[in-house]
Amino acid sequence: MPDKEGDKPEIDRKARMKIPLEEQKARPSEVRVKDFEPTFIPLTAEEAMRAAERCIHCPDPAPCTLACPGNNDIPAAMWLIEQGDFIGAAEIYRKTSSMPEICGRVCPHEDMCLGSCPRNKRGEPVITGPLEVFVTDYQREHGTVEIPVGPSTGKRVAIVGSGPAGLSCAEQLRQKGHDVTIFEAAPSPGGLLLYGIPNFKLAKEVVFARIGDLEQAGVEFVNLTRIGESKTIDDLFEEGYDAVFVGVGTGIDATMDVAGMDLPGVYQATEFLIRANVDQEHLPEDKDTKPEVGRRLVVVGGGDTASDCLRSALRLGAEEVTCLYRRTEAEMPGGKKDRELAKEEGANFRFLTQPIRFIAGPDGRVSAVECLQCELGEPDDSGRRRPMPIEGSNFTVEADTVILALGYWPDPLIGDTTPDLETHKWGLIVADPETGATSRQGVYAGGDGVTGPATVVTAMVDGRKAAAAIDEYLSKN
């Protein structure tokens, strides 16, 4: 029996189509809602091999590979998994991904590899994400995870921001032998992997392990340093860096212009999520306590962040947790899977509801949200039907805590402090989508700070593309 990639026998697709789907099991909702531990139970080796055998090995290029922003060779990994070569499969992912252990957990697979699987026609796709997690965890437990460092080039690259874009750029540049220093504004590296995505979706140990690999490979981390404040990008060049990659994300929470926004008990999503999910040692001093949620908690917004807030609130002990959203469920931007998990855990959803005022109770803390009922009008610029508040339809929803999960804006700091760096009017950095090159020579950018809020995998891919372009630039300069 052939046992390696590229040495596959004739695939009996009909037989494989008969292998039934086994979904990855979640912990029961009433159990998982009591802690912040991972939602899903890891696959066993036998489950992984059975699941991989369901791949029908579509002719090249496979739709799953095309649908993956990193173009992971998923069929090759599936083939090795079904042979039991889990470490070989992990190495397949590592060829094209700088953080497969993280992407396997958090990618919106339904919109990417899993969504493109032809077995979806019967609602039975190959469970690509859990298999990526299984093999990369297996590799860490039973093998070694090492970033191969290239011979030193003597060139120095500064990376601004340590989210997936910055970390992936660093991983690729070290492989080319360049010295890399990452400057990070927060107390610890990781960006939204640490200070955003909740633990029940992505355990922090997984992030720390990958950051540990980078440290091992010689990447230097300088935390608590906001470039644009204590030093600028021009200062970095003066200090002797030969190129700079900017991966600063979109760290400013969107707000709404309504009365009562500054009442105690009204939180921005980011502050709420980091205080709920991050250990004290990684938090700034003014945010290092768990939020007091009270009994009734309201989340305003309809994206993935809203689901993360609902689920975190339930884990902090809130009894009645309700999402208020201006449109209907059909227009919600957040992923269905996270919303279903939130519902299973007890979150309520109130659609066509527009908050217009946060009301203080006798103790001065928020106690209710005044809302208007909405109906749907014509589609707006986003293509979704516009919510139209109905005059006189006012009603209140009681709330001891309100969380605003309304989206994110870029911080204009880097654009404002870097002469000739072109930005869009909203503050996003203008960069070539294939190379990350900006209007400033030697300055590259990628991730959410260029695209606007997107995903871990797209930021990761941007970081890798920019690293390739920086390597080429450094070879000529």
Residue choice 166, 334, 355, 442 for contact with ligand FAD (CB under 6 A): 166
- Dihedral angle sign, alpha carbons of residues 268, 270, 276, 279: negative
DSSP for 47-116 reads: HHHHHHTT---PSSSPHHHHHSTT---HHHHHHHHHHT-HHHHHHHHHHH-S-HHHHHHHS-GGGSHHHH
Shortest distance (Å) from residue 338 CB to ligand FAD: 7
- Output the furthest CA–CA distance in the chain (Å, rounded): 75
Instruction: Please tell me the distance from the alpha carbon of residue 7 to that of residue 116, in angstroms, as a whole number.
Output: 24
SS3 category, 178: coil
Between 139 and 307, name the residue whose CB sits nearer to ligand FAD: 307
Question: Looking only at residues 56 through 85 of this chain, which bind ligand FAD when binding is defined by CB under 6 A?
Answer: none
The two three-digit tokens of residue 271, written as one number: 């502050």
The two three-digit tokens of residue 93, written as one number: 């992912």
Between 70 and 228, name the residue whose CB sits nearer to ligand FAD: 228
Residue 160 as a binder of ligand FAD (CB under 6 A): the answer is yes
Shortest distance (Å) from residue 409 CB to ligand FAD: 12
Shortest distance (Å) from residue 369 CB to ligand FAD: 21
The footprint of ligand FAD on this chain (CB under 6 A) covers a number of residues equal to: 41
Instruction: Please tell me the distance from the alpha carbon of residue 35 to that of residue 31, in angstroms, as a whole number.
Output: 8
Residue choice 47, 184, 345, 400 for contact with ligand FAD (CB under 6 A): 184
Shortest distance (Å) from residue 54 CB to ligand FAD: 24
Shortest distance (Å) from residue 64 CB to ligand FAD: 17
Please report the beta strands in 342-458, taking only residues with DSSP state E, as ranges in sequence order.
348-350, 353-360, 366-379, 385-389, 395-398, 401-404, 408-409, 443-445
Helix or strand holding residue 236 (H, E): helix 233-238
The two three-digit tokens of residue 184, written as one number: 């990070």
SS3 category, 286: helix
Shortest distance (Å) from residue 451 CB to ligand FAD: 8
Between 251 and 294, name the residue whose CB sits nearer to ligand FAD: 251
Place of tokens 């960006």: 191
Sheet hosting strand 220-222, strand order edge to edge: 220-222, 179-183, 156-160, 243-246, 443-445
> Contact letters (x/-) for ligand FAD, 114-153, by CB under 6 A?
----------------------------------------
Shortest distance (Å) from residue 458 CB to ligand FAD: 7
Residue choice 459, 461, 467, 470 for contact with ligand FAD (CB under 6 A): 459
Question: Looking only at residues 383 through 442 of this chain, which bind ligand FAD when binding is defined by CB under 6 A?
Answer: 411, 413-414
Residue choice 165, 206, 321, 474 for contact with ligand FAD (CB under 6 A): 165
Question: Looking only at residues 216 through 275 of this chain, which bind ligand FAD when binding is defined by CB under 6 A?
Answer: 226-228, 247-249, 251, 273
Q: In the 8-state DSSP scheme, what is residue 142?
A: H
Please report the beta strands in 170-294, taking only residues with DSSP state E, as ranges in sequence order.
179-183, 220-222, 243-246, 252-253, 266-268
Shortest distance (Å) from residue 345 CB to ligand FAD: 16
Shortest distance (Å) from residue 29 CB to ligand FAD: 19
Name the phi and psi angles at 355, rounded to 5.
Answer: -65, 140
Which among 25-33, 92-100, 396-404, 445-453 is the span making contact with ligand FAD, rule CB under 6 A?
A: 445-453
SS3 category, 192: helix
Residue 228 contacts residue 413 (beta carbons within 8 Å): yes
Between 80 and 431, name the residue whose CB sits nearer to ligand FAD: 431
Question: Looking only at residues 319 through 348 of this chain, which bind ligand FAD when binding is defined by CB under 6 A?
Answer: none
Residue choice 106, 443, 445, 470 for contact with ligand FAD (CB under 6 A): 106
Between 260 and 449, name the residue whose CB sits nearer to ligand FAD: 449
Between 352 and 456, name the residue whose CB sits nearer to ligand FAD: 456
Binding footprint of ligand FAD on the chain (CB under 6 A):
106-107, 160-166, 183-186, 191-192, 196-197, 201, 226-228, 247-249, 251, 273, 304-305, 308, 411, 413-414, 447-449, 453-457, 459
